[in-house]
Amino acid sequence: MSRSKSLAVKYLAAAVLLFGVMTLAGLASAVYYINPDFLFGFVPFNVAKILHIDTMIIWLLMGFMGAVYWFLPEEFGCEPAGIWAAEILFWVFVAAVLAVAAIFVFVQWGPGTETTLWLFQQGRKYVEAPRWAAIGVALVMLVFAWNVVGTALKARRITGVMAVMSVNMVPLVLLYLIAFPKIDNMAVDLYWWWWLVHLWVEATWEILIGCIMALAMMKLLGTSRRIVEGWLYVEVALVLGTGILGLGHHYFWIGTPDYWLGIGGFFSALEPLPLLGMVVHAVYDAGVHRMKTSNQPAFYWTLAEAFGNFLGGGVFGFMITLPQLNLFAHGTQWTVSHGHFAFWGAYACGVLSVCYIALQEQRRLVTVNGSGWVWAFVLLNGGLIGMVGSLLVAGMAQAFFERAIGGSTLEAFIAGQENPWFMLGMYSRFGFGLMFAAGYLTLAWNLSALGRRQVAAVPQPMPAE
Amino acid sequence: MPFDDPAFWRAGAISTTVVMSIVLAMLTIDSLEAIAPGGSHVPPYTVINRHIDYAHNAKLGRDMPTIGQDEPLFGRAVEAPEAAALIERGKLVIQSRACIDCHTFMGNGAYYGPDLTKAWLDPAWEAWAAITGAESREEAMVRFLMAPDQYATWQRRMPNLGISRDEAVATVAYLKWLASIDTNGFPIHFGRIKVSE
Amino acid sequence: MSPVVFLVTSSLLGFMVLAAGAYALLYGAARFRESYALLIAAGFAYAMLALDAAGIVLATPLTPPWKLLIAASALAYFAIPPLTWRALQYAHREEGTHL
Ligand code: HEM
Ligand code: HEM
Ligand SMILES: [Fe+2]
């Protein structure tokens, strides 16, 4: 196996491990809603939650990198230009993630000085990592971008998919720089922070996963490159055409002028349209190929990606995106419901699909089968759908009792949180969270055990790691 | 047929992206002007010397902050540089303790604690003033922030985050200024406010 | 907006996109199975969508521009599955599937 592919396998393995840490931290955060005394005084809610969402960003990023390093040698017919740097940085990245996690758990906070932002944490959602670590992440992404763009230059050829990916590297890296500044004015701070959060996840990440899925489809179904590239361009046009100004759905209430109500509502209401097109596409592929592929799990996870992206982003996003309704639902468990469904559907499922593709080749399996992956698939998706359903109930109760009926004060907040519907949502979210965690364990076991027995029965040369 | 040619769609993708980005850039320039301190939507930091309230504006059909008489924090008016220093310090306290991973600010953050956009105006401070033995709202807030676990109102407590008195004062200044931002009517029905004007 | 109307309105919006998903799924299945029954089911899903959109336009307190957007989206949702399907068939025409 090429060096790039070995590195990809490392990235994917690290991603799956971190996915486990994320699940554990998510469960811990969820317990707090049921029993607020849980770990109080040792690991407060915010620390558990920071671990949860930061590991989510990191494992998905690692998954994307793993996917890209996997496909790079095939696209260009040579090793990436800076593979040595990427290999070193992988270990630096892993060490930094461990160090930051330790700081979050054991140091937790520092005095209100810039030093705290440099050494311990920055206290901005999703990008809490201290600046020294953020520099590391920026470096990793720079090398990643260089390996995509630089390899194209080295190979003196470019494919359409890689061209899109290369151009997309520029905003991907530039937007991350928003993780650094300290801006006193909260309105301005949030204004730029949303560029990082929304424009990453609803623009650059969508393009990146679109490229990865395009490569995956060529591999899984043998779709021709010309077709895949045509689709990719259409998708880019639609996703960016609606998603760039769809950013406005986060500018309703942060102090920005009210023209954002119209602009944000309008463009984000269009966002589900391209997602519906992807559903049709998925049905077409599934139907034409009659679900016949040598890699069932990878194929099913790509289907889950198309449907999850549509349901989580399209359906759950659309419920709360018009300003008159967002005024009530804004910043409630309803947001959490949408956030989980969308991130899961749009990105996590895609990364898991690539894991199975890589595994098939690495372990030299003619077909990927068995029932293990089915269990993992059902438990994870079932657990997730149960969680977002529970959160929807809780979110509706919160919006209703705290905002629409209540007066949005501390008293109204408490009334909403203690409402039986809300509590029901919190308990059942935790229950489905356990189901999800069982799915994770099955997945981890399946990924590590898959094909090993076959290898033992029919001796094969071990793939070079 | 042009639809069949990837180059057609590539041109479409590039031009849509460019157009949308240009529009976003223009809107950004305008918005940043509106949200600069002293801009049309965000008062200057010295607003912490004034009385701040939140009322329904019948003309606009939404809730809006109102800025009234002099009402300096702790009875002592501050000049612009001192106000800016307080805000800077307050923001650092907020970031260094990751308040936003329990609370929301203007609805952004985490949902374990109450939204802090209008925390300055929360009627709960009256009760907290009684419990903490404070003479004023700002003093009650300072005492609460320094020992929130001691003055808990319900089972879900805020932990003690080692906030010093100076840090707490700066944070209170920050929260007061935050309450003066025009957020297009969020949060709605705050304290079930009465109609004014 | 009254509290109950708020919940109903956002539920109607979510249901509309959900129905669009069901319509797309059934439409696609009808095409590759060449099943008339599934096509009717798809039509039924779209009827739900249209009904739902009509409900939003007629009975919710959203302002007229938003209602216009909803009505226009309802039409767009009708067109997306057949158009996408045709484009896909056309693109794949050289792969020799019988579809
Ligand atoms: C890939 C797709 C998407 C992902 C991964 C995603 C993820 C998220 C996340 C994580 C949040 C919470 C952000 C925070 O406060 O921390 C959020 C908020 C939001 N999303 Fe999405 N989203 C996606 C697509 C969409 C779409 C298509 C729509 C609209 C139709 C939408 C509408 C919204 C709205 C209105 C909010 C703000 C909620 C609030 O006011 O609290 N999202 N999204
Ligand atoms: C066992 C499974 C999980 C549990 C129990 C769980 C629990 C939680 C909890 C309690 C929060 C904090 C919400 C708040 O502030 O009140 C949260 C936030 C979040 N989680 Fe999870 N989670 C799980 C899995 C996932 C997965 C699989 C993803 C994505 C792939 C994810 C993405 C997120 C995101 C994006 C947020 C921030 C959402 C927002 O603030 O709107 N979580 N989760
Ligand atoms: Fe967004």
In-domain check, residue A167: no
Distance of alpha carbon A389 from alpha carbon A400, whole angstroms:
16
Tell me which residue in A224, A314, A322 faces C17 most closely, judged by beta carbons: A314
A2 found inside a domain: yes
User: Does any CB of chain B come closer than 8 Å to the CB of residue A268?
Assistant: no
> What is chain C's alpha carbon radius of gyration, rounded to the nearest angstrom?
16
pLDDT tens profile B74-123: 999 999 999 999 999 999 999 999 999 999 999 999 999 999 999 999 99
Looking from the CA of residue A338, the nearest atom of ligand 2 is 41
Nearest alpha carbon to residue A207 among B17, B162, B196, B11:
B17
Q: Is A347 helix (H, G, I), strand (E, B) or coil?
A: helix
Kindly state the tokens that stand for A439.
């799915």
CA C84 to chain centre: 13
Whether B18 contacts chain A with CB within 8 A? no
CA B185 to ligand 3 centroid distance, Å: 20
A355 Cβ neighbours under 8 A, 6+ residues apart? A12, A15, A16, A63, A66, A447
Looking up tokens 């018009």, which residue turns up? A322
Cα within 13 Å of Cα(A165), Cβ side: 31
Going A424 to A425 to A431 to A435, the CA torsion angle's sign is positive
Sequence-distant (6+) residues with CB within 8 A of A117 are A123, A130, A131, A182, B92, B95, B96
- Alpha-carbon dihedral sign for residues A183, A188, A190, A193: negative
In C, minimum Cα distance to A310 occurs at C21
Q: How far is the CA of A340 from the centre of ligand 2 (A)?
A: 6
Per-residue pLDDT, averaged over A114-118, amounts to 97
Q: Residue A52: name the closest of A26, A91, A83 by CA.
A: A26
| Residue with CA at minimum distance from ligand 2 atom 2 | A433
Model confidence at B197, in pLDDT bands (50, 70, 90)?
very low
- Closest approach of B4 to chain C, Cα-based (Å): 7
Q: What is the number of structural domains in chain A? A: 1
- Per-residue pLDDT tens for A346-395? 999 999 999 999 999 998 888 888 889 999 999 999 999 999 999 999 99
| Chain B: touching chains (3 or more CB pairs < 8 Å) | A, C
List chain B residues with CB under 8 Å of A47: 98, 101
- Cα–Cα distance for residue pair A15/A21, rounded to 1 Å: 10
Contact B37, B17 (CB under 8 A): no
Q: Where are the domains of chain B?
A: 2-34, 45-192
- CA distance from start to end of chain B: 62
State the amino acid at position B134 in one-letter form: A
Strand ranges, E, within C1-99: none
| Span from the CA of B24 to the centroid of ligand 3 (angstroms) | 15
pLDDT in tens, B175-194: 999 999 999 999 998 987 65
DSSP state of A80: -
Mutate to test the pocket of ligand 1, among A338, A347, A392, A396 (most ligand atoms within 8 A of CB): A338
- The Cα–Cα gap between A65 and A297 comes to 20
Contact C91 A399 (CB under 8 A): no
Residue numbers of the domain that contains A128: 1-158
Q: Write the pLDDT tens digit of every residue in A63-92.
A: 999 999 999 999 998 999 899 999 999 999
Lowest mean pLDDT among A209-213, A298-302, B6-10, C65-69: B6-10
Does residue A368's CB lie within 6 angstroms of at least one atom of ligand 2? no
Kindly state the tokens that stand for A262. Answer: 């119209």
CATH of range B45-192; options 1.10.760.10, 3.30.200.100, 3.40.1000.10, 3.90.1200.10 = 1.10.760.10
Number of folded domains that form chain C: 1
B124 touches chain A (CB under 8 A): yes
Q: Enumerate residues 6+ apart whose C-beta is below 8 A from A295.
A: A220, A356, A357, A360, A367, A368
Judged by a CB distance cut-off of 8 A, whether residue B44 touches chain A is: no
Angle at B66 between CA B65 and CA B69, to 5 degrees: 145
Question: In this structure, which residue's CA is closest to atom 41 in ligand 2?
Answer: A336
Range of the domain at C52: 3-95
A379 vs B75: CA distance, rounded Å: 60
pLDDT digits (tens, 9 = 90+) for C34-77: 999 999 999 999 999 999 999 999 999 999 999 999 999 999 99
Q: Which of B1, B4, B5, B63 to mutate to test the interface with C (most CBs of C within 10 A)?
A: B4
Give the pLDDT confidence score for residue A260 in this predicted structure: 98
**pLDDT > 50? residue A462:** no
Fill in the DSSP letter of residue C99: -
Tell me whether residue C82 is exposed, middle or buried, using C-beta atoms within 10 angstroms of its C-beta: 0 to 12, 13 to 18, 19 or more: middle
